[in-house]
Structure 1
Amino acid sequence: MSSLSRRQALAAALAGAGAVPAMAAPQFGQGLEGQRRADLGKGWFRNPVVPGDHADPTVLKDGSDYYLTFSSFQSYPGAVIWHSTDLVNWTPLTAALQQPIGTVWAMDLVKHEGRYFLYIPVLQPQRMAIYVIHADQIRGPWSAPIDLQIDGCIDPGHAVGEDGRRYLFVNGGRRVRLSSDGLRTDGPVQANAWTPWQYPADWVVEMYAPEGPKLFRRGAWYYLVSAVGGTAGPATSHMVTVARSRSIDGPWEHCPHNPIVRTRSADEPWWSRGHASVVEGPGGDWWMLYHGYENGFRTLGRQTLLEPIEWTADGWFRAKGGTLDKPLPKPRGGKAGPAGATLSDDFSRSRLGLQWSFHAPGADEAARLKHGEGGLAMRAKGKALADCSPLCCIVGDRSYEVEVELEVEGEAHGGLALFYDERGHAGLGFSRSEMLTYGYGQEQGWMREKRAAGPVRIKLRNRENVLTWWTSTAGQDWKQYGWQMEVSGLHHNVFGGFLALRVALFSAGQGEVRFRRFIYRGLPA
C-alpha cells in the first residue's frame, strides 16, 4: 500500500470510529510553502510539531509563552529560539548564538529571577566544555559565551534546590553547583549525584549513554527526566526515564514504570524516541517534548515530537501517546499562532534569514557574504563542496523542490546541493565554463561538461530520497540532468555527527558566486 493510501485508510478508519473528524486527517505537503504542519485543525495535531532536524529539545514555559531550542551542532548562527502559545505551532524568533565556539548540542534554556540563560555543551578539538549565554529579553541581545570550565561533561540540566542554590546536572549521574548569578561554578563536579536507570541487558540498544537530565519541581517532589540507550544506532535505542526525590540532594528513586517512552519495534513510525523535556500546557495538562527519527527518513535528522502525559495517584506520570502513529488532541487552552518558517528567499534583506546557517564556519565566515544588487554574493572558499563551509537550510518534508539562480565570477564554482557533512553530499555546480557533479561525497570529475558562462538556474527535486536535477540558461525551458541520485544513506548511522541532510548553497575556488531567487516548495508525499 502506498504512503498516500495508508494515510487515506487511516483517515477513514479514524472518521468511522468517531475518534477524529475526517477533515483532520494528516495532510502532508500543505501549509507554509507546502511544508508539513502539525496542526490539523478542529483541535487535533499530528507529529512532528517541529519537522526536520531539531534534536534535543529544551522547552521553557514563560507565562503564556513557550520557548524552545535545539542542538545546532556545527551550524552558525546557532541556538535558534522558537516560540509557541499552544505547544503545537512553533515559529523561530532569533538565533541566540552568533559566535562559533564548537559543535553545540543538548542545551538547556531556563529563566531565573527575570533573566534568561542558555547552558550550552560544546565539543571542541581538544575538550568537551559547557558555556553559558544570557539575556534580559528572549529576543536578545544575548551575551557573548562564557566558559564555565566544566570539562568532560555534556547535556546540562539547570535546577534550583530547596535552599535556593543553583545547579547543573550533567550526563553520567553528575552535577556541579553554580554561583548565584549562574555564570560561574561554585565547586567541583560531583560524581554520583543521581544514578541513571539501567535497562535489561538483552535489550537491543546502541549503548548505555546516560544523558540529557532535565529537572522540574511539582508539589513536594523534584523530577529528573533523562535518557539512556544511545540516540541513534538500532531503531529501538534511546528512551525516556524518570526518577524523583524530595530533595535536590537525593536520594533519587526510579519510576517503577521505566522507561515511560521507548521505540519497541522498527515497525513503529518513530525510532529512537528520547531526550525529553516535560512542561505544563496552557490549560494545566502536561506534555513531553522529545526527539525521534522518522521511519525510513533518517536523512531528515531527529525531529521534535509532542506527547501528552498524565499524573497517576502514586505521584508518577505516564505517557499517553502510544507510538504516535495517530493524530492526538491538542493541549487545552492554547492559542494557535504561526507555524514554521519561510524558507524561500529573494535575498533582499541586509542580513541572513533565520533559515540559513553556515556549516563549520570560521570566526569571520559572515564576511564572505555581500547583500544587495539583487542577490546574495558569496565569496569562494576551499577547493570543493566538502571544504567550503556551505550555507545550509534545514528542511522537514519527505519530498520537496528547490530552485535557485546563480552567476559565477572569477575562478569560482558554486551551486545547489544536499549536504550532510564533508564526506556525505550530492550537488550540481557551475564554473564559468563547466558544469560539475558531486555525488558519493566528492566531485565526479569524469562527469564534467563544458557549459557557456552566464546566469544559470538549477532545480532540485528530492522525492523521498531520490534526487532529480534540472537546469535552465538564458530563459530556456528546463532540461533534465541525466543522472539521478539516491541519498537515503546520508545520515548519522553512516557518517556520525548527529546531523541531517540539508539544502545548501555553495561557493568554492577563487572569486564569488551570486545567488538569486531561492525558492522552496514542499511536495505531497
Structure 2
Amino acid sequence: MDNSRRNLFKTLLAGAAAAPLSARISAAELPREIPACTPSAVPPARWGQGIEGQRNADLGDGTFLNPIVPGDHPDPTILKDGDDYYMTFSSFYSYPGLIIWHSTDLVNWAPLGPALYEPLGSIWAVDLCKHGDRYYIYIPANPDGGGWSIYAIWADDIRGPWSQPVDLNIHGCIDPGHVVGEDGKRYLFVNGIRKIRLTDDGLAADGDLQPAYQPWQYPEDWVVENFAPEGPKLLRRGDWFYLITAVGGTAGPVTGHMVIAARSKSIHGPWEHCPHNPLVRTTSDSEPWWSRGHATLVEGPAGDWWMVYHGYENGFRTLGRQTLLEPIEWTEDGWFRARGGDLSQPMRKPAGGKSGPAGFALSDNFASNRMGVQWAFHDPAPDEMTRIEYEPGGLRIAASGSSPQNSTPLTCPVGDRSYEVEVTIDLLDETAEGGVLLFYNHKAFVGLGFSVGQRKTFQCAGELEWMRAALATKSVRIRLTNRDNVVTYHYSHDDGKTWTLLDHRMEVSGIHHNVFGGFLSLKVGIYSAGTGSIRVRDFTYRAV
C-alpha cells in the first residue's frame, strides 16, 4: 500500500479510533439486526430490452427493475433542476471523465457528455450541485500520487463548456458534499465527517476543516469492512438539514456498506441520529444487490421522494458498482424510511415523469468522436489524446508501451451480464501490435492480440507464452464473447466470413475490487503497442 492510500485509510478510520465502540454506545442503544431481504431469486434476465439488447430498467408497463444505470456507475451524485435530473459518477482513471447523464423520470438515463478532460489521477466520489445560475462539480483527486485535494469545475450550462479544474487546497479529503447553511454561506462536508466553509463563489476554502458529526455506530458484531464514515450528502427540507452518510466500508463483506442519516436545525449541529438507522443495508449474500450505500435523496417529478445509491450485483462484481433507485417515505416524526423491499422485483416508476431515451448504442464505426461518452483512456498521460486520429474508415491509435502490461488502453464500460463485441484491427506498421482486452487495470486483464507475425493470448495480466502462435496477418477481426463471466475468443482474416475459435476459454468472475483493489470494473479494451500505429474499425456490441 503506498503512503497516500495508507494515509487516506488512516483518515477514514480516524472517527472510529476515538474510543472503543462499547464506550460510545450503550446496549440499550443498539438496534436489533434488521431482517434479511429474502428475495425470491437473483434477478432474472427480465429487464426491458434497450439499444442492442442492452438491459433497460424501464419495463414499459409503469414499473422498473434496478439498476437504473447498469455497469460501472458508482458514487452517484444527482441534481434536480426544474423538470430535469442530472447525474454523474466516480470516473477514477478514465479520461475524458465525469460524464453528465440526463433524465426526466429518474428511470431512463442517457449521457450528455464528459465534463472533465484534464487528467487529475484517480477521481473518487464527486458532488454535482447548482448554486444560483451556475453548476459546480466538486472533485476529490490525487493527480500526482502525493495526496488528495478537492478541486472544482463550473459551468453556466450543464452541457458545458466546463471550466478547467480549480484546486481549493482542501487537502487529505475525499467525498465532498455541498450545502448552503442557514447563514447563507456555502460549505463542503467531507469524509470524516468534517466540514469547511467556502468563499461565496465556491472556488476556495474560507476557513479551517472542522469536525462536524460523529456518525451513528452499528453493533460491533455486524460483519463490515471497516467504520469508514464517508459520502456525506446534505438536504434542507422544512426546518431541518438532513445528513446522509455511508459507513461500513465500500466493498469487502457484502453486509458492510450501509446508509445512515442524521438531522439538525443548524448546519453546525448538534446532529441527531436517525432512529431508523441503517436505512439501507445488505444483510444476506442471497440478496440481488450487495454492499449497498452512498445515497442521495431526491424529490421525484410528482413530489414523492427517492433514494439513489450504488451496489454490486450478486455474482457480477466484475461490472462494478451500479446505480440503484429506491422509494422512501417521510414519517410523521420528520424522518424517512426506505421502502423498496425486495430489489429483485419490479417497482412502480416515479409518478409524473416523462420517459426519455435510455443508454446509447455502443457499436461504433468511428465516423465521429465518442471520447468520454463511450471511449476513455485508462490513466492517461496529459498528451494521451494525441495518440488517436479519426480518419476515413476508422480510428488510428499510435502505439503505447510494448504490451498490454504497460500500454494505455482505450476502454469502454459495459452493463450487461453477457455480451459479444467484435472489432477489426489493421496493423499499419510492421512493428505494430494490437488486440482486444477485458481490462480491469494493469495487474488484472485478459485478452487476445496480434502482431504482423504472431497471435498472443493474455491471462492473469500477462502473456501465456506457451500459447503464442506464428500467424501472418495485417488485418484481423476479433470477437470476444463474455457469457456470465466466461470468455470465449474467435478471430477472422476475411472480415467475419469464416471464424477460428481460440481453444482456450477464461473465467473472469474474480477480477474485481476485493481481489485487485481500485474500485474499478472489467471493461472492454483496445490496446496498441510496439511502435507505429493500428487502425480500429467497425466495433459492434450486442447483449447476449
Task: Report the TM-score range of the alignment, normalised by the length of the smaller protein.
Answer: over 0.9
Q: What displacement does 1:104 show?
A: 0.2
Confirm or deny: 8 A CA contact 1:29 1:397 kept in the other structure. Answer: no
138, 149, 166: which one aligns with 1:146: 166
Q: Deviations over 1:327-359 (max 9, x none)?
A: 000001000000012111000114536111100
Q: Is the contact between residue 96 and residue 371 of structure 2 (CA under 8 Å) also seen in structure 1?
A: no
| Aligned partner of 2:262 among 239, 243, 247 | 243
In structure 1, how many angstroms separate the alpha carbons of the residues matched to 2:54 and 2:369? 26
1:107-256 equivalences in 2 (<5 Å): 107-124=126-143, 125-190=145-210, 192-256=211-275
Q: Which residue of 2 aligns with 1:480?
A: 501
Q: Conserved in 2, the CA contact under 8 Å of 1:132 and 1:183?
A: yes
Looking at structure 1, the residues matched to 140 and 370 of structure 2 have their Cα atoms a distance apart, in angstroms, of 27
> Does structure 2 conserve the Cα–Cα contact (< 8 Å) formed by 1:30 and 1:522?
no
Q: Deviations over 1:235-288 (max 9, x none)?
A: 101000000001111100000110000000111000000000110000100000
Structure 2 letter corresponding to 1:401: E
The one-letter code sitting in structure 2 at the alignment partner of 1:263 is T
Distance in 2 between residues matched to 1:123 and 1:111, nearest whole Å: 24
In structure 2, the residue matched to 1:19 is none
Q: Within 5 Å, give how 1:12-411 maps onto structure 2.
A: 27-28=46-47, 30-124=49-143, 125-190=145-210, 192-350=211-369, 352=371, 354-410=373-429, 411=431
Partner of 1:509: 530
**What residue in structure 2 maps to residue 464 of structure 1?**
484
Query: How many Å apart are 1:434 and its aligned residue?
Result: 0.6
2:468 aligned partner: 448
Q: Aligned residue for 1:495?
A: 516
Q: TM-score, normalised by structure 2?
A: 0.91
Q: Which amino acid aligns with 1:70?
A: F
Runs of 4+ off more than 2 Å: 7-11, 25-30, 350-353
What secondary structure does 1:172 align onto? Answer: coil
Structure 2 distance, partners of 1:194, 1:333, is: 36
- Aligned residues with identical type, % of pairs: 62
Checking the alignment, whether the CA contact within 8 Å between 1:26 and 1:46 is kept in structure 2 is no
State the alpha-carbon separation in 1 of the partners of residues 297 and 516 from structure 2: 31
Deviations 1:454-494 (A, max 9, x none): 21100000000000000000244111110000001100000
Question: Deviation string for 1:285-339 (max 9, x for gaps)?
Answer: 0000000000000000000000000000000000001241210000010000000
- Do 1:39 and 1:88's aligned partners in 2 also have CA atoms closer than 8 Å? yes
8 Å CA contact 1:156–1:212 kept in 2: the answer is yes
Q: Which amino acid aligns with 1:435?
A: R
Give the counterpart letter for 2:489 in structure 1. Answer: W
- 8 Å Cα contact 1:351/1:371 also seen in 2: no
> Is the 1:129–1:151 contact (alpha carbons within 8 Å) kept by the matching residues of 2?
yes
Q: What's the RMSD between the two structures over aligned residues?
A: 1.5
Structure 1 residue 9: Cα displacement: 9.2
Letter in 2 for 1:72: S
- AA in 1 matched with 2:520: L
CA contact (8 A) 1:417 1:506 kept: yes
The one-letter amino acid of 2:446's match is A
* TM superposition shift of 1:8: 11
Q: Secondary structure at the match of 1:33?
A: helix
Conserved 8 A contact 2:480-2:490: yes
Rounded to whole Å, the distance in 2 between the matches of 1:348 and 1:145 is 30
Bigger shift: residues 350-359 or 441-450: 350-359
Please identify, of 472-481 and 248-257, the stretch whose mean Cα deviation from structure 2 is larger. 472-481
Amino acid at match of 2:515: V
Residues 1:183 and 1:353: Cα distance change in structure 2 (over 3 Å): closer
Task: Note the alpha carbon deviations across 1:436-461, whole angstroms, 9 max, x for none.
Answer: 11101111122111111221100000
- The change in CA–CA distance for 1:319 and 1:385 in structure 2 (over 3 A counts) is same
Q: Please point out which of 445, 450, 475 is paired with 1:430.
A: 450
TM-score by length of 1: 0.94
**Unpaired segments of 5 or more residues in structure 1?**
1-6, 12-24
SS at match of 1:39: coil
In the alignment, is the contact (CA less than 8 A) between 1:270 and 1:323 conserved in 2?
Answer: no
Measured in 2, the distance between the counterparts of 1:251 and 1:52 equals 38
Deviations 1:127-186 (A, max 9, x none): 011100000000000000000111111000000011110000000121110000000110
Partner Cα separation in structure 1 for residue 50 and residue 197 of structure 2: 45
CA contact (8 A) 1:85 1:335 kept: yes
Q: Deviations over 1:34-71 (max 9, x none)?
A: 11100001210000000000000000000000000000
1:26 shift after superposition: 5.8
- CA distance in 1: counterparts of 2:89 and 2:77, whole angstroms: 7
Distance 1:435 1:374 in 2: 24
The one-letter amino acid paired with 2:78 is: V
Shift, 1:117, TM fit? 0.2
CA distance in 2, matches of 1:393, 1:79: 14
> Larger deviation: 342-351 or 242-251?
342-351
Q: Distance in 1 between matches of 2:91 and 2:536?
A: 24
Q: CA deviation at 1:409?
A: 2.4
